Amino acid sequence: MSQELRAVAWTGTGLALIDQTVLPHRTETVDVRDVDTLVDAIRRLVVRGAPAIGAAGAYGVALALLQGAREGWTETEVRAAVARVREARPTAVNLMVCVDRVMTRFPEGLDAVLEEAAAVQREDVEANRAMGAHGADWLLQRIGGERPLRVLTHCNTGALATAGWGTALGVVRELHARGRLEVVYADETRPLLQGSRLTAWELTQEGIPHYVQVDGAAAGTILRGEVDAAIVGADRIAANGDTANKVGTVGVALACADAGIPFLVAAPTTTVDLATKTGDDIHIELRGEDEVLEWAGVRTAPAASRGHNPAFDVTPGRLVTGLVTERGVLEVSKGELPGERLG
């Protein structure tokens, strides 16, 4: 089912976005026909995952053109609306890259913009398929033996987070297709539970055996030898291999380093930001404190408590065993840096 799943789909007059805030209990779509609705959907995580946000942003240029035509906007007003889409989530570089790419066709009109947005979406699916194969090949060669692998992942990196198939979860799906996957440990991913709500839902659709575990269990699971490798996605990768991903990722990387098992980052080359030299230069989005001070709308912390809610953390490149892109695998911790190999 998830092989055909499309988190972002152009309907001809707007976007249909799978509402990831209500999964797994309900499967609903949000009809997006204006820029305000799209910006809100990106910020509220109706659509989430760097590649999926990039695809939504690419089509956001078309939305701005259509809305501008309906409401009599000037070109300046249309461009301002596109800029709002581009800036909706600051950490995920794919959003900016994809919007900028589609804007190169802006002077040619709506048809050209839609053509470029469709290319963005198509190329992401193709890149994900290639990543899955490269990552599975690398893991099977690196770990060796004939037994199926036990894999840990964090957050959601599947079809829901991309234009289709998935990045880190694409590697998992490829291992499963080859009969070389025993089980997946899916971190629940606090505070919004993308692992338990979304990754577990996708794994269930595929019939892939898995456990959902609290984020705090990940290090212990790794150090007890219950995991052969961890595979995560990324929202931005610096030229030196430092990687911003969903908060909690760096703890997984540290545990993998101590246990001596591979820690893989799977992401398309559009996630690599060569203009960002190190992780110190990556802007970390701080989300609303209610996400950590409340549970289902009910306050769980004392009234006087303040919430610290970074959406991402940065894993140093020295902890990244391999970076899987559609071009192959870079062994970052051994000095194969994105800035030198992907520039």
Catalytic residue from among 187, 215, 228, 235 = 235
Give the span between the Cα atoms of 62 and 26, in whole angstroms: 29
User: Nearest 5°: CA angle at 311, between 176 and 174?
Assistant: 10
Q: How many CB atoms lie within 10 A of CB 64?
A: 26
Please count the other Cβ atoms lying within 10 Å of the Cβ belonging to residue 83: 12
Strands ordered across the beta sheet of 272-273: 272-273, 236-238, 243-246, 312-315
Active site residue 242: no
d(CA 237, CA 273): 6
Phi, psi of 221 (to 5 degrees): -60, -40
Whether the Cβ atoms of residue 333 and residue 318 lie closer than 8 Å to each other: yes
Contact call for residues 91 and 283 (beta carbons, < 8 A): yes
Residue type, 183: V
Catalytic residues: 235
